[in-house]
């Protein structure tokens, strides 16, 4: 794993905030993403100035207790996988990713349950013909 | 050759046919709220008596059944308007209203939204559309009440029209109060869960006809509709169960036919 003040990709992206979550659209590839609230906070906070510890502080300030390093790393892995981190972080190997998730859920308490595991959903935005009705 | 130039949601188009009565039949099925105009059309639709449907001179479909041809052409025209409207954003969705609450059911063709809309209307909801949520720049959803049609159960591919009383037809724009993401599965029990607004917005964006052509407007519309809406998602079986549940939860007096 390499983490060095990650920078989120913003070029070519349209974004809209929806009740703490984030919608993003890449008009070059017609791909859209939905970041849940935890992933959205991490993405917004990756401005090239923050270390892992700084990101942890931001997340704790936004979500309260129950946040640890695993949450940040899971979020960054998700964001890299979907091409939403420009630089400063490389996705970990699958074993490390799974271990993080296992630690997160194993250590879940009432407090951590309130912290949603970071998730990024993606979809290919359909063409007009695909999105509309076929003749009935 | 008889023809008609019309405007619908900012799209000026020409409709022509080799038969006057066929033109009349096709004109009767033009998008709700269309108006005859004079002007330069940006697209030309045609329907001839042998059953060829053309768009800008190119044959896009052929059918020998006259009624099917008229319905097919109507669908093609609506889809073109949905994609090319310069201001309104069209989301592939059924829409009804309960009081001041607009209920949007996004989904592509064959997703069962028409059946759910029909049941909701039969139980007292106001009918906006079974095909598109038409959203203006202020986030208001306008009526687009084409005839409520469901696919024939005889398997012949034709559509059956369901009558909607005039008092059940929407006449004014409405705000989105609920987004219902309902996936049909035979035998399923409707037990939806409340979902984040972001999920509702994502579902709307997925079904926005002009998302690729106007991504800024599509994103803004999806977000605006979802921000203040209750989002429900789940599998449903028969539409009557889901419609009863929805109307009861929205404190609507259920009025069965």
CB atoms B206 and A127 under 8 Å: no
CA gap A132, A60 in Å, rounded: 43
Q: How many CB atoms lie within 10 A of CB B174?
A: 21
- Tell me the chain B residues in contact with residue A129 when contact means C-beta distances shorter than 8 Å: 79
Looking at residue B213, its pLDDT comes to: 94
A23 contacts B92? CB cut-off 8 A: no
How many Cβ atoms from other residues are within 10 Å of residue A6's Cβ?
26
State pLDDT tens for residues B41-61: 999 999 998 889 999 999 999
Average pLDDT, integer, range B75-81: 95
Please judge whether B208 and A130 are an interchain contact, meaning their C-beta atoms are less than 8 angstroms apart: no
**Option in B61, B92, B211 nearest A133 (CB):** B92
Q: Which residues of A touch B (CB under 8 A)?
A: 14-23, 25, 27, 30, 32, 34-37, 121, 123, 125-136
For residue A108, the model assigns a pLDDT of 66
Type and span of the H or E element at A87: strand A85-90
pLDDT: is B120 or A128 the higher one?
Answer: B120
Q: Specify the pLDDT at position B212.
A: 95
Sign of the dihedral through C-alpha A127, A130, A133, B3: positive
Identify any residues that bridge with B178 across adjacent strands, giving them in sequence order: B103, B230
Of all residues in chain B, the one with the smallest CA distance to A37 is B198
Predicted confidence (pLDDT) per residue in B202-220, tens digit:
999 999 999 999 999 999 9
Q: Tell me, what's the ipTM?
A: 0.89
**Quick check: B254 pLDDT over 80?**
no
Question: For residues A41 and A39, what is the distance between their CA atoms, to the nearest angstrom?
Answer: 6
pLDDT value for A25: 97
- Quick one: average pLDDT of B232-254? 83
Which residues, including other chains, have CB under 8 Å from residue B7's CB and lie 6 or more apart? B13, B34, B35, B37, B39
pLDDT for res A1: 61
Q: Judge whether B106 and B209 are in contact, CB under 8 Å.
A: no
In this complex, the residue of A18, A123, A133 whose CB is nearest that of residue B75 is A133
Q: What are phi and psi of B57, to 5 degrees?
A: 85, -10
Q: Please indicate whether residue B247 or residue B155 has the higher confidence score (pLDDT).
A: B247
pLDDT for B3 beyond 70 = yes
User: Among all residues of chain B, which has the CA nearest to that of A30?
Assistant: B212
- Residue A104: the pLDDT is 79
- The per-residue pLDDT for B118 is 93
Angle formed by the axes of helices A94-106 and A69-81, nearest 10°: 140
User: For residue A23, which residues of chain B lie inside 8 Å, CB to CB?
Assistant: 198, 201-202, 205, 219, 222-223
Cβ within 8 Å of residue B93, ≥6 positions away: B104, B105, B106, B107, B113, B129, B131, B132, B133, B204, B207
A16 and B212 within 8 Å at the Cβ level: the answer is no
pLDDT value, residue A78: 94
Structure confidence at residue B151 (pLDDT): 64
What stretches in chain A show pLDDT beneath 50?
134-136
**Which of B71, B90, B210 comes nearest A135 by C-beta?**
B71
How far does A12 lie from chain B, in Å, by closest CA?
12
Q: What is the pLDDT of residue B253?
A: 37
Using a CB-CB cut-off of 8 Å, the residues of chain B touching A20 are 196, 198
A50: distance to nearest CA of chain B, Å?
26
Entry pTM: 0.91
Please tell me the predicted confidence (pLDDT) of residue A134: 45
Mean of the per-residue pLDDT values for chain B? 91
pLDDT score of B2:
85
Q: What is the pLDDT of residues B8-45, one digit of tens each?
A: 999 999 999 999 999 999 999 999 999 999 989 999 99
């Amino acid at each position: 794993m390499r983490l060095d003040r990650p920078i989120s990709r913003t070029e070519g992206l349209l974004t809209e905030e929806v009740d703490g979550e984030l919608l993003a659209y890449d008009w070059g590839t017609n791909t859209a993403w939905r970041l849940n609230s935890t992933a959205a906070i991490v993405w917004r906070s990756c401005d090239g100035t923050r270390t892992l510890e700084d990101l942890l502080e931001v997340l704790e300030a936004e979500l309260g207790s129950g946040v640890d390093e695993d949450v940040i790393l899971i979020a960054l892995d998700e964001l890299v996988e979907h091409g939403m981190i420009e630089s400063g972080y490389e996705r970990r190997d699958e074993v490390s990713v799974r271990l993080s998730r296992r630690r997160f859920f194993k250590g879940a308490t009432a407090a951590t349950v309130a912290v949603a595991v970071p998730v990024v959903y993606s979809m290919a935005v359909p063409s007009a013909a695909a999105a509309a009705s076929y003749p009935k | 050759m008889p023809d008609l130039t019309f405007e619908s949601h900012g799209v000026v188009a020409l409709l022509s046919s080799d038969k006057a009565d066929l033109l009349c039949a096709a004109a009767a099925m033009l998008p709700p709220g269309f108006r005859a105009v004079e002007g330069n059309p940006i697209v030309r639709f045609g329907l001839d008596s042998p059953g060829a449907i053309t768009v800008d001179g190119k044959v896009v479909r052929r059918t020998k059944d006259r009624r099917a041809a008229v319905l097919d052409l109507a669908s093609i025209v609506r889809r073109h308007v949905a994609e090319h409207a310069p201001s309104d954003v069209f989301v592939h969705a059924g829409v009804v209203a309960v009081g001041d609450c607009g209920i949007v059911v996004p989904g592509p063709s064959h997703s069962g939204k028409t059946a759910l809309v029909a049941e909701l209307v039969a139980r007292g909801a106001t009918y906006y559309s079974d095909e598109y949520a038409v959203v203006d720049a202020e986030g208001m959803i306008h009526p687009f009440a084409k005839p409520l049609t469901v696919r024939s159960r005889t398997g012949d591919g034709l559509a059956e029209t369901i009558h909607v009383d005039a008092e059940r037809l929407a006449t004014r724009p409405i705000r989105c109060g609920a987004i219902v993401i309902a996936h049909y599965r035979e035998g399923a029990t409707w037990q939806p869960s409340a979902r984040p607004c972001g999920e509702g917005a994502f579902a709307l964006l997925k079904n926005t006809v002009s998302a690729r052509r106007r991504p800024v407007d599509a994103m803004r519309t999806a977000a605006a509709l979802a921000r203040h809406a209750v989002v429900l998602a789940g599998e449903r079986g028969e539409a009557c169960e889901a419609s009863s549940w929805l109307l009861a939860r929205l404190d609507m007096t259920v009025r069965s036919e």
